[in-house]
């Protein structure tokens, strides 16, 4: 008598990075850097540029929620630097990455 073979394990494969995914990841990395240097104006300008590009790319793909979240992050970025602001930015970029991944996987 033969044993039933084990079902193939289902590894979750991350979606291939496109321009929008790269922007979300770059924003997340920059927001993480702000934990160490919260007053770094060049990184803040970089994040502002990334958010503007995310809004454009999201609009091209019809991803309204991503554009809305990017707009909220632009508002958060405009206030003075604080640990709470950095946390909001990181959380926001995490949301953008999850929305991007869901869209790439066909769930959203």
* Per-residue confidence (pLDDT) for residue 6, from 0 to 100: 55
Query: Does 5 score more than 80 pLDDT?
Result: no
Quote the pTM value: 0.83
Domain boundaries, the chain: 19-105
* Per-residue confidence (pLDDT) for residue 64, from 0 to 100: 95
Nearest to 89 by CA among 34, 16, 45: 34
Pick the CATH number of 19-105 from 1.10.3470, 3.30.70, 1.20.120, 1.10.287: 1.20.120
Name every residue whose Cβ is closer than 8 Å to that of residue 16 and which is 6 or more positions away in sequence.
104
* Per-residue confidence (pLDDT) for residue 67, from 0 to 100: 96
């Amino acid at each position: 008598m033969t044993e039933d073979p084990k079902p193939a394990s289902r590894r979750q494969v991350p979606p291939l990075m496109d321009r929008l995914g790269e922007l979300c990841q770059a924003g997340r990395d920059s927001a993480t850097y702000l934990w160490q240097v919260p007053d770094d104006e060049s990184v803040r300008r970089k994040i502002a540029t990334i958010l503007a590009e995310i809004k454009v790319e999201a609009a091209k793909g019809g991803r309204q929620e991503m554009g809305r979240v990017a707009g909220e992050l632009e508002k958060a970025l405009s206030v003075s630097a604080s640990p709470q602001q950095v946390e909001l930015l990181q959380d926001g970029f995490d949301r953008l990455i999850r929305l991007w991944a869901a869209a790439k996987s066909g769930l959203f």
